[in-house]
Amino acid sequence: MMRPILLSAMALMLAATSTLYAQDKSSRPPHSKFYLKVAGGYFFSITPGQFPNVGPYPPQDLHTEYNPANANPFDTVSRKVLTGSYGQGVRGGLSFGYNINKYIAIEGTFNYYHSSKNLMTRTLTTVAGSGQVLGNITSHGHVNAIDFAPSFVFSPGLEKVNPYVRFGVVVPLWGRLYIETDALQTSNPPAGLPLPPGTLVKTVIHREEEIKPNVTFGMQGALGVSFNVSSRFDVFVEAEYRNVPVKSKSKEVTEYSETNTAINGSTGAELQVLSQRGLGDLSVAEKNTDYVTTLDRNSNTEVNKQGTKTFYKDDNAPSNDLKSYINIGGMGFNAGLKFRL
């Protein structure tokens, strides 16, 4: 008697449990194989190289002294080659992913990158014994870029803590190398100017330029781990390596101001503004540069210089200069949120 009753009760319990499980399962939101990721991180330079020239100025930190008593009045105090990379900076990205199966996914990531500012060249000239500055040229540069990075993602498919590896390529979509230069020079005035004896001319220049890159490709890879926090969200952290070499295509001067002022040579007091030049006063060749792999007799190169104005073979066409190379890759760390659709 008891046995049929127990069997009936067990059957009812199993039926009820199955019904509750089915209801619970049906109430869960269905997840597609698509997902979104947002991430931010910081990258460090691990492959420093020598910076490109800034116009006629090489990538060096040079300090010279001027001593008119010497036959050769200029003496080098110190010289240092400037090296580094534009791979150090902050990066933010938005990824679109698709799970092929439990272990393999494909991702496409759009990244925005802003590099740290680098000292590209500096030349300081002082008077021996007094430290008076006769000339100072300093240039800093930084990179802004947007890229697209398609990649494959492999993982063991664990539910709670899931390590993964990711690797693929980097396709830069847009980028600029911005260079900002400030220069100061003190010199004797040109002959014939009606100026008091002992007057000097102080020239102050501020210049900003943008360098556009050629189309290029790079490589990227990452090792990370994802932590499940809910049915739809994961938090992830990862270490990423990028190698993205970039070569220059063209350059444009976007800001330029030059002021020549007569000053008292003893006190430095300003007497009068002698002349000024702005962006509109630059020739096409001074304002625009096309980079080439080889300079020859047909290249539009410099032929003469008067003060700060440079004359080219054709002032009405972009000048030519040798291509330069930089690297915007590095080693970094990212953290972000993954949302399953």
Beta strands in 133-244 (DSSP E): 133-154, 161-187, 199-213, 218-228, 233-243
Pairing of strands 60-66, 74-81: antiparallel
Helices (H) and strands (E) in the chain, counts: 2, 21
pLDDT digits (tens, 9 = 90+) for 302-323: 999 988 899 999 999 999 999 9
Q: How far apart are CA 59 and CA 50, in angstroms?
A: 7
pLDDT digits (tens, 9 = 90+) for 245-254: 899 999 999 9
Q: How far apart are CA 181 and CA 276, in angstroms?
A: 17
Which H/E stretch holds residue 20? Answer: helix 2-27
Give the sign of the dihedral formed by CA 329, CA 335, CA 340, CA 341.
negative
pLDDT at residue 31, rounded to an integer? 64
pLDDT digits (tens, 9 = 90+) for 98-119: 999 999 999 999 999 999 999 9
pLDDT at residue 17, rounded to an integer? 39
Kindly state the tokens that stand for 39. 């991430």
Return left, alpha or beta for 16; rule: phi > 0 is left, psi -120 to 50 is alpha, else beta.
alpha
Q: What torsion do the CA atoms of 9, 13, 15, 19 make, to the nearest 10 degrees?
A: 150
pLDDT > 60? residue 12: no
Phi first, then psi, for residue 242 (nearest 5°) are -135, 145
pLDDT at residue 11, rounded to an integer? 44
Q: What torsion do the CA atoms of 291, 294, 300, 306 make, to the nearest 10 degrees?
A: 90
pLDDT digits (tens, 9 = 90+) for 118-129: 999 999 999 998
Look up the pTM and report it. Answer: 0.86
Give the sign of the dihedral formed by CA 244, CA 245, CA 250, CA 252.
positive
Give the pLDDT band (50/70/90) at residue 18. Answer: very low
Lowest mean pLDDT among 208-212, 264-268, 328-332: 264-268
pLDDT digits (tens, 9 = 90+) for 180-205: 999 999 988 888 788 888 899 999 99
Mean pLDDT of the chain: 89
Q: How far apart are CA 224 and CA 150, in angstroms?
A: 17
CA nearest to 38, candidates 88, 147, 112, 89: 112
CA nearest to 160, candidates 224, 239, 104, 225: 225
Average pLDDT over residues 279-290: 97
Give the pLDDT band (50/70/90) at residue 22. Answer: very low
pLDDT at residue 45, rounded to an integer? 86
Higher pLDDT, 16 or 269: 269
pLDDT at residue 5, rounded to an integer? 39
pLDDT > 90? residue 2: no
- If DSSP codes are grouped into helix, strand and coil, which group holds residue 286? helix
pLDDT at residue 26, rounded to an integer? 40
pLDDT digits (tens, 9 = 90+) for 23-79: 444 444 556 899 999 999 999 988 778 888 898 888 999 999 999 888 888 999 999
